[in-house]
Amino acid sequence: MYGGYTYVELKYKPSKDDFIVLLWVKGKNKIEKIAEAVAAESSVGTWTKLSTMNDIVFKNYRARVFKIIKVTKSSGFIYIAYPYEHFDSKNILQFQASVMGNIFGMKEVDELYIMDISFPEKYQKQFKGPKNGIEGIRKYVGTLKSRRPHIGTIVKPKVGLTPKEFANVAYDAWSNGLDLVKDDENLVDQKFCPWKKRFNEVTKKMDKAENETGEKKLYATNITDSSIDRMIERLDYVREHGQRMVMLDVYVMGLAALHEMIKHTRKYNIFVHAHRAGYAAHNRGMFGVNFQVYEKFYRIIGVDQLHIGTGVGKMEGSALYVKRLHDIAIKNKGEEKFYLGSLKFTFAKHIKPLFPVSSGGLDPGMVDALIELFGKDIVIQAGGGVHGHPNGTGAGARALRYAVDCAMKHIPLPKASEKNNDLKLALKKFGYADPKDIKNVLKYEKNNKQKLTREVKIGGLAEYQRIV
């Protein structure tokens, strides 16, 4: 009982229209009481009995704890079902305020981590999903038949270059084989590199690179702003100049602003490259929300590309965990993987796959491992791994493109480097990530799912965090 009412109903079987939330909780009270507190605060209840509560509210709108996996007397994993009617139509912020809101400030919890959320198809039908996604971007770039991974770079240094300097770096990347050049997350409209001047200089160089290579190129220009009006002005400018992609820092701008901007990008048929800068603050430690929750939001709202991590680079996230994020991006269904904190997922039929982006500490020597982990539906994005090449950006771009082309022919990179000096120098400087390591990890998961599940059920959040 919590506040005079019970929210634990272990015999309850969720309906197809219920939202399912998997959480880790730990506190000073028994796990059952903590679970009830979370369910109450996130639905119809509060800390005390109410004179205003009635049977209709309690029966139809309350959350129900239908499963508890106890680790200790005061900690464990809880599954909560929320009725569809509890939530406001198309209002993601109301959903966040309910399920991902006040519960993080409750004194009953010493640890609280939202592992995953399953969104019913009925809810997903309110949203349109990606307008283009993988297939639309492949069609534009011209890789529908080859199905090779797309390759890109982030202009470095992150900030400080003038518009012309920036454009020259972009040209070196495109003209030597890359598909995508993007702004970094913290570059928008600073005085040393004004957005419009940078855009004009870069697109002139992009046109030149397209004419020289015969390939379509993409520029993900960062239009993120605290003003919706300014973002729309930049979007209009992109459309008027015939460009097809913009970048949005989706986490820091929030779901409401993203939802609004997606309406305009869909209308103009402009691809959205989504950067998740800032998200890690919501994920690391004993309080937080797993990125797969946000990834589902971003896919049903309708971004076309999304950063998911690397599994082999500098960013946090094990190979198994980032592979799961890749699955959520490109698949319509997926099995439950408790040891990764993942519920079974099913996307509505109209929600297209988005194009996952692997970025963060990558270089040409990681291509074999990345393709082993993700397959071919991945954007491999290297910043320092391109510009840090001993012979500069052009050589780094050539090395990355050659690495991908050889991987498509199943030629291992060490062997391929014998006939290509750019790749040879890249491997000498950055090293080689052996795909056998990824094969071993995936094989271990396949053969030890029950063991991994058992270990997390015993070890709790700490063991989960060790795995991911």
Handedness of CA 402, 405, 411, 413 (dihedral sign): positive
Known active-site residue 387: no
The pair of structure tokens assigned to 337 is: 């993987």
At which residue do the structure tokens 């709108």 appear?
Answer: 61
How many angstroms separate the CA atoms of 294 and 467, rounded? 20
CB-based contacts of 397: which residues, under 8 Å, 6+ apart? 153, 172, 173, 174, 175, 176, 177, 178, 386
How many angstroms separate the CA atoms of 193 and 163, rounded? 5
Known active-site residue 156: yes
Q: Distance from first CA to last CA of the chain, Å, rounded?
A: 34
In 3D, which of 295, 302, 292, 227 has the Cα closest to residue 269? 302
Burial class of residue 458, CB neighbours in 10 A (0-12, 13-18, 19+): exposed
Count of helices and strands (H, E) across the chain: 18, 15
How many angstroms separate the CA atoms of 424 and 417, rounded? 5
CB-based contacts of 52: which residues, under 8 Å, 6+ apart? none
H or E, element range at 374: helix 367-374
> Which of these is catalytic: 30, 156, 376, 424?
156
- Note the Cα 394 to chain centre separation in Å: 29
> Phi/psi of residue 101, each to 5°?
-110, -105
Q: Which residues pair with 380 in a beta bridge?
A: 151, 358
> Which of these is catalytic: 150, 275, 337, 352?
275
The pair of structure tokens assigned to 259 is: 């939802």
Exposure b/e, 7-16, CB count within 10 A at least 16 = b: bbeeeeebee
Inter-residue contact 112 to 103 (CB < 8 Å): yes
How many angstroms separate the CA atoms of 32 and 77, rounded? 11
H or E, element range at 439: helix 435-447
> Phi/psi of residue 463, each to 5°?
-70, -40
Catalytic machinery residues: 156, 275
